[in-house]
Amino acid sequence: MRIKLTTIYVDDQEKALRFYTDVLGFVKKADVSHGEFRWLTVASPEEPDGTELQLAHNDNPAVKAFQQAMYEQGEDAAMVFSDDIHADYERISANGGTFTMPPTDVTASIIATLDDTCGNLLQLTQLTWKG
């Protein structure tokens, strides 16, 4: 068994696609529409056949309320890993990304928090411990 897909809810799928591809550097994996429904996923260019991130529209009132509460409390909606968080911080910032927390040393890792412009905070993480 393996994890193939996880979902993040966004308030604008087209805006999210631009952010996750142009700013973060992910690649579009699937983009299928049927009426108002759009199945949209991105993946890491380092693992294009690996885990996909679905950018799902937050048209469900419960999802929208949860997303807003998480954002207002500063809780991350997802975590992405980096081999060089300082280089990724510079690259993402140069691409227009806005960080709410720069790279910060914490227990066993360095983390940074990024606003995805679509209602979510993302945590970038570089592990510093050898497990």
pTM, full prediction: 0.93
Look at residues 108, 101, 99 and name the one whose alpha carbon lies nearest to residue 129. 108
Please name each of the domains of the chain with its CATH number: 5-127 (3.10.180.10)
pLDDT(131) > 80:
no
pLDDT(126) > 80:
yes
Amino acid letter, 72:
E
CA–CA separation, 69 and 85 (whole Å): 27
Question: Which stretches within the chain are classed as H helix?
Answer: 13-18, 61-72, 85-94
Predicted confidence (pLDDT) per residue in 17-65, tens digit: 999 999 999 999 999 999 999 999 999 999 999 999 999 999 999 999 9
Q: Please tell me the predicted confidence (pLDDT) of residue 74.
A: 96
